[in-house]
Structure 1
């Protein structure tokens, strides 16, 4: 059933709650926890049999400035203003400035609150600096995976007695003449339905990466690329927004990734590139500045013959990468290939030996400072690659969309005239993000940044508006 908005009064109310949240990912669970802490009753509805979604498929890394977790590792000079400037620099000034500032100032307090009130442990990754970030500010739970982050949020919701109703797809919003959301109808797999009355509604159902029609319409450059996201991200929030008269912005923005192991579908950390590795196409040649960013690299990789590239690196980086669970998974399934020499590596991965040798030689010259990289990358700050060498075949992919419903400072959705809806909120992929309208605007961690920061704001605001 297509998502729809009904202007009729709900025919009945099977259940009522102060705050109803659609989507049990990071955004939805944070919103429900914040609403519950503010004294409101909250219910989360989730279309799947168990919550998974984009959060569990992500790296689980959350950028945040000025936290005590940063200070614990000696990062004492990061600020929301510095972080917002990094966000704007990555998008070349095309992000919504108000949203960038809002996310940057909110995310630190949100992570501190999750730790203090709900026991989430955070550590700051300082083994390398993520592309576009001027300080070490990437936070993760100890397991360093999105799956573990989601599990901890689910446990926190269960401890707070927040019902998470699974196998319940929200299909209809009931909105009165004043655009107040009065109830939501959810449909079960067997066709049965329930209508839940709500004082406030939070849309935390992510973006539209799983809707090929919407992707082709708004992001044609990646329409033929692999989608590495949750298939349930079908654009429900966007479709509801269009019907209710919400402002939609930056629908052409998205996070791509140029390093998805092929055909295994395992994310290979971009840390390999940042620490000295490089990418070649099937002709054994480099084709871009790998330090430009992993999001826009998706387009660069897909432009190569067959939409394929090889990540090439050495034993130092191979050992370093084993600190990332996804890389260990790729190693276990045989995605990582090894060669004792450049010629040996070329033979193992089926690339022209002479071309690959020349690429290695050119990278070495750049690393020694003897010549400038034609793509503009600075190789001089990292050690030269040394045998044995490693490689993994990768492709480019769409991870998740970044455009959506425009929100104000308390995460309430705005209409096309800039007025806030009375009790409709959005966060994460359902809301307009902070990456701007292009793939190159995505700064590492922007997805979970807006999921948690805007979910935090939405939960607090929804609790305050729980009654008409």
Structure 2
């Protein structure tokens, strides 16, 4: 894939103050924030309707010190949240960025809840790996599709223009300043749009197989579970104009995608006491490390396949997620009153599988150094065949406290901003640094900061 960078033509088809490329969570939140400041806003989206990676996720945003947490009696703050992020990423993140995101996440959730009436609530019946408090906020169905639909409706109610089926293909740039973009229509025609301020919310590069092979060789064989529109335009434009790029080897994987159904199975089935086995019926790693690392662990097994084992108690918790109910509906989840029956339903060798299950401790650590505290699995037993997948990239354009993009010389572009997957996140330098919700954390916070910034008005 190539992207063009040229000076703007003398005559443009459209002009606006703030132009947003991408109508995922980051782009729509940026649009709302910009609209509040009185800026004229236009959002362009390549898809027929806004969706993006947000719609493929569970739509959960981690935030500390929110009113939703307070209503549940959860004591949390930005400092603890920042510590959790840095611990998971082995302190590979830029501390200033971590503090920026964690200090602004809570106020951003409160803003969306109070001003725009998005009914966020906290998941309180299980813990996400690496989070020392329950701080995952989601809408009622725990679905990213619900989140994106709610944000789109909110933008429409605010009379923000969203033009779909327009893929940004050319960046207009001259004398150190962004002038606008050209977009391509479905019929192949182009339109030119000028702007005073450009916000790149077009996510990362997971849908660009050449870039994945170059920067993420560990996961190139994995299922691509992100949005196909994530082609790396922000990265490529950034390279072309001398922007600083950071942590391009960072990504979110997931080792619990039902196969061949392609449905995400919530990691709650693991955190509540479930395990994973390979085709031989044997466990192969410490599942408590996290679902991002699980992608590589699962793909390393024969045929890149594993089986996630849990029980009816855990399934009742997982049903708060729409994806899990869909997986049950299509028969991806196998259920049996006996372990022998479950092994037969999943095509696993019975005796090795029974030996594996018998070796799981009721409490304490196992041979993989995993700590078990939940009750032992009991009938009915459940299982699902899964594979590893790449969800989205976490490296990208380095940004300042207003989400403006840095140049390689340490200065910033006066009117170029980035959020979500287009920007460098806080997941360290690989997959193991990803803490649950990091993607939407960057989208929500950097999107809001980019939108509300008026420093481009010099």
- TM-score, normalization by structure 1: 0.96
Equivalent residue, structure 2, for 1:376: 369
> Where does residue 340 of structure 2 map in the other structure?
343
State the match for 1:4 in structure 2. 4
Shift of 1:256: 0.2
- Structure 1, unpaired ranges of 5+: none
1:3-51 Cα distance to aligned partner (Å, 9 max, x none): 2211x23231111111000000000000010000011110000011111
SS in 1 for 2:348: coil
Q: Name the CA distance, whole Å, in 2 between partners of 1:142 and 1:3.
A: 39
Partner deviation per Cα, 1:327-358 (whole Å, 9 max, x = no partner): 10000001011222111111111111111011
Q: Residues of 2 paired with 1:63 and 1:304: CA distance?
A: 31
Distance 1:155 1:141 in 2: 14
**Which residue of structure 1 aligns with residue 145 of structure 2?**
147
1:199 matched to 2:196? The reply is yes
Looking at structure 2, the residues matched to 156 and 362 of structure 1 have their Cα atoms a distance apart, in angstroms, of: 52
Matched, 1:249 2:249: no
TM-score by length of 2: 0.98
Partner of 2:57: 58
**What is aligned with 2:16?**
17
Does 1:278 find its partner at 2:280? no
Query: What is residue 159 of structure 1 aligned with on the other side?
Result: 157
The alpha-carbon distance between structure 1 residues 36 and 464, as it changes in their structure 2 partners (threshold 3 A), is farther
Please state whether the residue corresponding to 1:54 is helix, strand or coil.
Answer: helix
Q: Is 1:229–2:226 an aligned residue pair?
A: yes
**8 Å contact kept, 2:141–2:321:** no
1:367 and 2:370 correspond: no
Query: Aligned pair in 2 of structure 1 residues 368, 405: CA closer, same or farther (>3 Å)?
Result: closer
Instruction: Name which of 407, 421, 425 aligns with 1:415.
Output: 407
- Does structure 1 conserve the Cα–Cα contact (< 8 Å) formed by 2:142 and 2:320? no
| CA contact 1:10–1:183 (8 Å) conserved in 2 | no
The 1:412/1:436 distance shift into structure 2, 3 A limit, reads same
Q: Could you tell me which residue of structure 2 aligns to residue 442 of structure 1? A: 434
Cross-structure match for 1:109: 107
For this pair of structures, how many residues does the alignment match?
458
Whole-Å separation in 1 of the counterparts to 2:15 and 2:316: 53
Aligned to 2:286: 289
Task: State the Cα distance separating 1:280 from its structure 2 match.
Answer: 0.3
Determine the C-alpha separation between the residues in 2 that align with 1:3 and 1:214.
14
RMSD across aligned positions (CA): 1.1
* Runs of 5+ consecutive residues of structure 2 not aligned to the other structure: none
How many angstroms does 1:319 deviate by? 2.2
**Deviation for aligned residue 1:368:** 4.3
- Alpha-carbon separation, structure 2, partners of 1:415 and 1:357: 57
| Aligned partner of 2:447 among 450, 455, 464 | 455
- Which structure 1 residue ranges, 4+ long, deviate > 4 Å from structure 2? none
What is the aligned partner in structure 1 of residue 25 from structure 2? 26
Aligned-partner Cα distance in 1 for 2:115–2:379: 49
Offset, 1:464:
4.0
Call closer, same or farther: CA 1:140–1:191 in 2, change over 3 Å. Answer: same
Q: Give 1:63-142 correspondences, 5 Å limit.
A: 63-75=62-74, 77-142=75-140
SS of the equivalent of 1:441 reads: coil
Distance across 2 between alignment mates of 1:331 and 1:43:
40
